[in-house]
Every structure is written in structure tokens, then in C-alpha cells.
Amino acid sequence: MKTGHWVAVVLGLAVVLASPASAGPPETSSPGWTVSGPFTHQNLAVYLIHGKDVIPGKKLLTLQEALEQKKAVVHETRSVNELAVENLSHDAEVFIQAGDIVKGGQQDRVLSYDLIVPPRSGKVPLAAFCVEAGRWQQRGGEDAREFSRSAGQLPGKALRLAVSSARQQGQVWEKVKEQQNKLGKRLNKNVADPRSPSSLQLTLEDKELGARVNAYVAKLEKCVAGKRDVVGFAVTINGKLEGAEIYGSSALFRKMWPKLLRAAAVDAFAEQQSGRRYELVETDEVQAFLTEASKGKGTDTEVNRRIRVTTRQGEAALYIETRDQDHKGAVLHRSYIAR
């Protein structure tokens, strides 16, 4: 990596329009969620979170959809911690979620903040971390100027905490390596792809790993079928709460569900311990986790004029709340990462 790019990493550049400031107290009104489940496969349990839409009828494309439909471009900027996204659509907004992995460019990245990109946006700054330490050039037939796809979400709470809490590039690389080592140990082989051994995304594309992940997905993906009021889900692995994702609309949750379930399955497979049995977490424990995680003081970050992110650092969990200022400050997404 070039010296200038390493300096950018050390400084931990983030695309924000204002420095984090003290956030006000959390809302006292309950969102009125109910929790159902668990739905289980091996060491992974999923709990569905039911509630009302707060952003009904909003037309959003996920980043994965927008890239596949050629309605968005994620541009390489040759700065490790900053990319640029451009929405080419005439009428649809694009939702980007923190933890989305983009493949290609000079090196694969993971995106740092939730964002909504309006139609015909022009280039919009996009904060990112590298999840591929050893490359700074074109890879194979990929375009080094942009990113071809975003099919993966960051797996594992250690990696997610490195991106969303520590926000240190060196720690992200360290946790990527740890995740690769865990997966390699479970598969009894080297999961580092020869094309770029440090690439997390190439590891996630390993065929044998994919088969193991598919087994989880096949058992759990249909648990949301016919349940139109589901706005999120919580996950336990080995009998311990790992986190939850809740959205402002059921439609947005359903679009994100396949990618998020795969990430949870990757983590569950990495943490699986043969022959062990685990007590299932009760639904009221999930409710208590969600309530406690959202309490306490936090910091506000203005990602841009429209998107405000509130982060609350609790003992049990990191809570991240994204609000859409163009929709009367409605909560677009809540993310809970257990510590």
C-alpha cells in the first residue's frame, strides 16, 4: 500500500459533515415490537421482530439490487477510507447499510455508515474500511476504477464492532484474519484465495463454505414467509445473543434478509462446536436485550444533511440508530451488536 494511503488509514478518515456531539436521551415511547421464535438450525437461532412500518410505501433499492440493475456505481477514489457512490436511477433511492461489502476497485471495502442516495445523485462520498490488506491494484478481469457487486454483509460481531465502534483500520484487518482462521479451522483447509489471500470477500465465496452456509439458509430463510409485519430479527449463536437488525419498514427488512441471514450463518458455522447442546434464549430475554441496548447516553454523527446516526455504547451491546431527516426524523434502521 502506498504511503499516502497508509496515512489515510492511520487518520481514520470518515465522511461526516460534523464531528460527533453528545446525543440527547433516547425515546421513552416503546416501539411496540413483539418477538416470535426461535427458528433454529444447529447452533443458530433466529427470532423475528414484529412491528408497524414507520416509513411505509418508500421505494428503496438495496445497494446489491442497484449494482445488479446497473442503477448505481460505486467509484474507487484511491483513498482507502473513502469511496464515492452514484445513483443513476431516475426515480428510486438506494439504501446502503453499514457492513455492506463491495468487491473490486483497488481493494475490497466494507461500508461504514447507513446512507440513502437520492435519484440522479451525482457522486456522493462514502466512508469505508478495507477488508483486503494485500492488494492495491486491479485483480484479474475486474475494473480497478469501480466495484462490481455487493453480495456480502460483514459476518461476526468482532468484525462489526471493529468497523462500527473501534473504527480503526488495523483492527479491521486483524479481525478479518481471525475470521479467516476460524473458517479455515472449521473446514480443515486454507480458505485464503490465491488471487488475493487477504480478501474477506473471496473467502466468503469459497465453494465448500458456501455449501455449509446454504444448509443454514435453506432451513431458516422461509421463517419470514407470510408474516407481513416482520420488521427485523435477532440472532443467537451457541445459545448467546449476538445482535439484532430492525428496520423502518417490513419491505426494506425483506430486501436485506437474505444477505443478513447468510452473514449470520457464516458466523454460526465459524463458531460451531461439534457435540455441544445449548439452551435456547427466551423471547422475553430478546425483548430485554433490545430495550437495554437502546438506553443511555450516546453520540450523534451527521453522515450528511439527510442522515443522522446515533451510537450508544452500552456494556452489553453497541446500539446504532439511523434516522432519515427527510422523513420527519423517522428511524430507518436500528442495529444491535452484542459485546
* Mean pLDDT, the chain cut into blocks of 10 residues (339 residues total): 41 41 43 94 98 88 97 96 97 97 97 97 97 94 95 96 94 97 97 97 98 98 97 98 97 97 98 91 96 90 95 94 94 96
Q: Are 165 and 313 in contact (CB under 8 A)?
A: yes
> Other CB atoms closer than 10 Å to residue 323's CB: what's the count?
20
d(CA 314, CA 318): 6
Measure the N-to-C terminal CA separation of the chain; round to a whole number of Å: 32
Q: Give the domain extent around 57.
A: 3-338
Burial of 112 per CB tally in 10 Å (0-12, 13-18, 19+): buried
d(CA 253, CA 259): 10
Q: How far is CA 213 from CA 10, 128, 190, 229, 265, in A?
A: 35, 26, 17, 26, 6
> Other CB atoms closer than 10 Å to residue 200's CB: what's the count?
28
Q: What is the pLDDT of residues 221-279, one digit of tens each?
A: 999 999 999 999 999 999 999 999 999 999 999 999 999 999 999 999 999 998 888 99
Q: How far is CA 70 from CA 63, 94, 171, in A?
A: 10, 12, 33
d(CA 264, CA 243): 10
Count of domains forming the chain: 1
The pLDDT assigned to 253 comes to 97
Mean pLDDT of the chain: 91
